[in-house]
Amino acid sequence: LQNLSFFVNIEEMTRQNSIGNLDLVTMLALIRLDDEAYGVSISREIKQLVGYEVALGTIYAVLERLERNGMASSKLGESTPERGGRAKRYFRITAKGLREVNRLRRAFIKLWQGVPELAGRKA
């Protein structure tokens, strides 16, 4: 029952803010990359963070959703020959996004503290 309430809390938390797991991972990648966050670098950072590759189209869908919700902003950068002359689109996390990440971090820590298995003790 305790485990069930854990998932209910997470679901409630993510629903209120429209943030899924990938959204959170992407926002963390934006924070880590700072000024160098564009599609390719975000994709590589996510692979490093979670261990599997996410399609670039999926990452853009998340970034555009975050931008719509005011949690990220973007600006066009330089174009290079290996990109077929297309400009890079750099993303940054906004103050609102940063607040959401912090709020989620605090909530997760609080939830994990209530799970004995994760503290190395027997239930």
Partner 1 sequence: VTHRHPPRAAAWLLDCFVGRNQALIGDIAEEYRTGRTQLWFWRQTVMAALRSTFAEIQSHWILALRAAIFGGVFLFCFNYCIVRPFGQFYTDVMWNVDPILVSGGWSFRTLLFITFLPDVPVLCLGFAVGSWIVARLHRPYKAAFTLMNAAVVLVVGTVQIVVGVVRLYIYVGNYQKRHYDPDPHHFWFYVIVCFWVFELSLFVASTLAGGLWNRPSAAVDSV
5/79 with CB nearer partner 1 = 79
Q: Report if residue 8 touches partner 1, rule: CB under 8 A.
A: no
Contact string 62-81 vs partner 1 (x = CB under 8 A): --x-----------x--xx-
Q: Report if residue 103 touches partner 1, rule: CB under 8 A.
A: no
H helix count then E strand count, the chain? 5, 2
Q: Report if residue 101 touches partner 1, rule: CB under 8 A.
A: no
Q: Report if residue 26 touches partner 1, rule: CB under 8 A.
A: no
Q: How near is the Cβ of 14 to partner 1 at its closest, in Å? A: 18
Residue ranges that bind partner 1, judged by CB under 8 A:
38-40, 43, 55-58, 60-61, 64, 76, 79-80, 82-89
